[in-house]
Amino acid sequence: MLVMRRFLVAGILAISLLLVAGMAVPAGAAQFGDDLAAKVQELMQSNKVSPQTRACLSCHVQYTPGIVYDWANSEHAEMTPAALADLYKAIGASEWADKVAEKFKNYQYVVGCYECHGMFKEADRPDIIDNHFGYKIVTVVTRKDCSQCHPKESTEISWTWHATGALMSPFKPWYLGILKWAKSQGADPFGDAQAKALYEKYFPPYLTKQRDVDDINWDFYKEIAKAVMQYLETGQENDIVKMLKQATGMVTPYDKDWKTFISPLWPASGVLNTTLVGKMGIKIAVTAMDGTSKAVSNIMEHPSFRNGYVYHACFECHGSVVIPYKKETVQINGMQVNRVALWGWPNNGAARVDPDGSMGTCTACHPRHLFSVKQAREPWTCGQCHLGYDHPHIEIYEESKHGNIATAYGEEWNWEQIPWRVGVDFNAPTCATCHMSAIADANGNILVQGTHDLVKRLVWDQMHFFSIPKGIIPDKMQQALFYGWSQLKGKLEQIEAKKNDKAPEHYKYPVFTGVKIVEDGGKVGETKFPRLLKVEYTGELAKHRAEMEAVCKLCHSTQWTENFFRTADQNIIDYDIVARYANALLQLAWKEGIHDNSNILDEYMEIMWYYIWHHEGRRWRNGAFMMGPDFAHWFGIVDTVMDKLGRMTSYLYTALKIKQLESQIQALKASAGAQYTPELAAQIAQLQRELESLKAQLAALEAQVPVLKSQLQSLEAGVADVGALKGDVGALKEDVNSLVQKLQELSKQLETLSPQAKEIQKLVSQIQQVTSQLQTLGQKAEAASAKAEEASAKAEEAGTKAGKAISMVEEISKKIDELSSKIDSVSTTAYTLGGIALAAAIIALGLSIVYRRS
């Protein structure tokens, strides 16, 4: 009898657990609501949280609750550093567990506020807050700090562009100045012991360390940060500050508001700093919002223009240089708070340079303070930087079949599982899958080793001028300094000539060795597959391609994989040919004096070349390798060749033809002898040049007509910007009227020179023809403007209808919400009653058995 009763109680408890199981939070999933609030209160009183962290939580839960609740949802709030040994074992990298910092190997508490902000790695960094309510802390948690528990990830990421992207782009001039100074002091990775020691003191030591073994940092920047902080607080210039002024022309890289920093990554490199207007002796008076007024030839000359957008447009992806510049006490929430004032902060750019010399930040991909594995694996975590005109990786991914599958099924994936099991936890690759993830079978056996070294599965640099293999080191300035050669501008056959016998065997070349292009596709017209060139890989590049193929073969056949990479590689070859042809056209324009290369990005062909390599050419190559046909074709090769290369070719032809005609005219005038006076000949030649210039302007305006027509057609479909189009048409009309007036004046001047000259008569006739054509063009422009106004009216009408539709949708949405709420209420009641009824039935059944037995 007693046993039966116990059985009944156990059965009822089991049924109750089954009833509430559907409401349980999946393992690893973030919690929100009252349960999370209760969890925070529990953690604040738990002995698994260190006393220091509990003190932090008691205050910050009031003033920065978002941070506290995010941390409570993180794995850090659940795990001690010792658990990392099991994690490294799970991903097949158990050897890294021994590299966890000694102070954390047997640490008994979970990872909380104090463990990251108070147990920082290096005690001599300049940004330490000495007394934050009794604790010594830092505001900026760096990659060095993270490396204490995550040595593998830190080491691997330190060898990537993600770690060097700030120094390689926005801060390039400042960084290069320091490197050149260090070399002038005798620093040389291939020199004697003293030269090598100097190199390792002043440089990030890529050329003397081993990839994926040594953690790379720029420790000299820590000394710079200390010197700058002392200088800004006391005004004292030590040797480092004096060096900075000598080598870079400034103390910090922020001193000149980017006005001398010329880079193709922002407009200061070209049109903002143009020389063209100044050559004409023109100055434009501009009054800024602060009242400062100045007549300038280019925008960079205006004292109130500071290029402030780089803080957001550049740093948020590439990273900043964080400078601690003073210690201060401020009033916050009624309390006196000690802090270190920082510049270049806040910033989570991938290549942020921190006060302790760290390059690269983990929070670029694992946002604090949740540090979610799921978030890092989500495609849009990469897409927050890898998108848009110049590298639309996320858009290409979303167009691809991979992205389509992820969109369809991604909500059901097991995002947090470590290691990630192919086909079990997910059924299509994300960015992380192909480039980083440790991938396992259903039993957790590792099939592909994971890595944070994003070069490990790549062979081609698809981001720069020409097609080149991925470099051994990400610091291209060091390559240029010590090899005397830039890999970005070279050719494959030049690599062997730049061998450096002093370098270690695996660093003898500026790029990875192992690329050979061979012809085995048969002759033209011959039936043979594949009709493509073949890239043969050896050495490191062969390993990289094999690792990426291993990822593909987890879902695709060997033949599918081999054929895909064969065709993708041909796109690399094809682009390279187009790019070198386009660059040769630009070089010819400079040689012929058509363009001036003193500013390499402010004239027509220069800008077109920039778009070819920095925009369309990237889309072409990335579209091919990431299975985005629209980006490979329309946004890629079509825009590269039909648009930008076509414009370069046409412009160069027109410019050279004008030069040729001018030479012919001059020769004709010279041969005319006494028929013309020198003054008359000079005037005719000058007027002829002006005429040709006007013809060129006319051709440019005519080229705009198809674009305007296309915009009008799009507008009529309801997708164009009416205001902008009307502005374009208005500008076109003004240009046409201006040209007509100039031609009429020119015609009058010619008539007054020499009515008897037959050549001048012909010129007058030609001018009249051009005038007629311009008048016709003006009429077309007026017609286009009328269509634009008509389309604008249609757009307004459509907007009114859309507003009504939106109101209807909102009303229906409210009704759906009300109905959904009622359904949820009924469902919950039914679910509860069902459980009670089932439990009651079991009890009744049990009691009937008991009564029968009794």
Helix (H), strand (E), coil (C) string for 727-764: HHHHHHHHHHHHHHHHHHHHHHHHHHHCCCCHHHHHHH
For position 13, what pLDDT does the model report? 37
Q: Which residues contact 644 (CB under 8 A, 6 or more apart)?
A: 582, 608, 609, 611, 612, 616
Structure tokens at 732: 């076109």
The shares of helix, strand and coil residues in the chain, as percent rounded to the nearest 5, are 60, 5, 35
**Which residue in this structure is represented by tokens 């192919």?**
422
When pLDDT is averaged across residues 117-122 and rounded to a whole number, the result is: 97
Q: Is the peptide bond before 615 cis (omega within 30 degrees of 0)?
A: no
321 in Cβ contact with 355 (< 8 Å):
no
* pLDDT exceeds cutoff 50 at 424: yes
For position 716, what pLDDT does the model report? 42
Rounded (5°) CA angle 182-183-188: 115
What does residue 326 show for φ and ψ, rounded to 5 degrees?
Answer: -170, 155
* pLDDT exceeds cutoff 80 at 314: yes
Q: Which residues contact 499 (CB under 8 A, 6 or more apart)?
A: 508, 509
520 or 314: whose pLDDT is higher?
314
Structure tokens at 29: 């999933």
Q: Is residue 394 part of a domain?
A: yes
Rounded to two decimals, the pTM is 0.75
> How far apart are alpha carbons 223 and 234 in whole angstroms?
16
For position 788, what pLDDT does the model report? 53
From residue 739, give the alpha-carbon distance in Å to each of 331, 662, 695, 746, 771: 65, 21, 9, 10, 8
3-class SS of residue 479: helix
Could you tell me if 333 and 192 lie in one domain? yes
Could you tell me if 288 and 166 lie in one domain? yes
- Which of residues 403, 419, 454 is at a domain's end? 454
For position 489, what pLDDT does the model report? 67
For position 213, what pLDDT does the model report? 92
- Which of residues 439, 454, 469 is at a domain's end? 454
> How far apart are alpha carbons 475 and 158 in whole angstroms?
11
Q: Which residues on adjacent β-strands are paired with residue 536?
A: 516
Confidence of residue 528 (pLDDT cuts 50, 70, 90): confident
Could you tell me if 236 and 341 lie in one domain? yes
Looking at residue 803, its amino acid is G
For position 389, what pLDDT does the model report? 86
For position 832, what pLDDT does the model report? 43
Q: Is residue 239 part of a domain?
A: yes
Could you tell me if 98 and 217 lie in one domain? no
Q: Is residue 185 part of a domain?
A: yes
56 in Cβ contact with 114 (< 8 Å):
yes
446 in Cβ contact with 100 (< 8 Å):
no
Any long-range contacts for 311-315 (C-beta under 8 Å, 24+ apart)? 313/266, 314/169, 314/170, 314/265, 314/266, 315/166, 315/170, 315/344, 315/347, 315/349
What does residue 137 show for φ and ψ, rounded to 5 degrees?
Answer: -135, 175
145 in Cβ contact with 154 (< 8 Å):
no
> How far apart are alpha carbons 91 and 420 in whole angstroms?
9
* pLDDT exceeds cutoff 50 at 290: yes
* pLDDT exceeds cutoff 60 at 754: no
Q: Is the peptide bond before 706 cis (omega within 30 degrees of 0)?
A: no
What does residue 440 show for φ and ψ, rounded to 5 degrees?
Answer: -125, 170
Measured torsion, CA atoms of residues 813, 815, 817, 818, in degrees rounded to the nearest 10: 170
Could you tell me if 439 and 295 lie in one domain? no
Q: Is residue 775 part of a domain?
A: no
Return the closest-CA partner of residue 167 out of 128, 198, 206: 206
Could you tell me if 250 and 357 lie in one domain? yes
Instruction: Report CA torsion sign: 102, 103, 107, 112.
Output: negative
> How far apart are alpha carbons 131 and 138 in whole angstroms?
10
Q: Which residues on adjacent β-strands are paired with residue 755?
A: none
Q: Is residue 508 part of a domain?
A: no
Could you tell me if 203 and 286 lie in one domain? yes
From residue 11, give the alpha-carbon distance in Å to each of 2, 188, 852: 14, 77, 20
Which of 15-24, 295-304, 696-705, 766-775 is the least confident region? 15-24
Burial 295-306 (b: 16+ CB within 10 A, else e): ebbbbbbbeebe
Q: Is residue 349 part of a domain?
A: yes
Could you tell me if 156 and 294 lie in one domain? yes
Domain that holds residue 48: 28-142
What does residue 801 show for φ and ψ, rounded to 5 degrees?
Answer: -65, -40
Provide the pairing of β-strand 284-287 with 135-138. unpaired
497 or 607: whose pLDDT is higher?
607
End-to-end CA distance of the chain: 9
From residue 226, give the alpha-carbon distance in Å to each of 130, 138, 201, 240, 376: 15, 15, 15, 9, 33
Could you tell me if 229 and 340 lie in one domain? yes
Number of domains in the chain: 3
3-class SS of residue 294: strand
Instruction: Report CA torsion sign: 89, 95, 98, 101.
Output: negative
Q: What is the pLDDT of residues 787-801, one digit of tens each?
A: 555 655 554 554 444
Q: Is residue 741 part of a domain?
A: no
Q: Is residue 22 part of a domain?
A: no
In DSSP notation, 8-33 reads: HHHHHHHHHHHHHHTTSPPTTPPP-S
Could you tell me if 356 and 426 lie in one domain? no
* pLDDT exceeds cutoff 80 at 43: yes
* pLDDT exceeds cutoff 50 at 362: yes
For position 674, what pLDDT does the model report? 55
Percent of the chain at pLDDT exceeding 70: 71
- Which of residues 397, 430, 454 is at a domain's end? 454
Could you tell me if 352 and 381 lie in one domain? no
Could you tell me if 128 and 201 lie in one domain? no
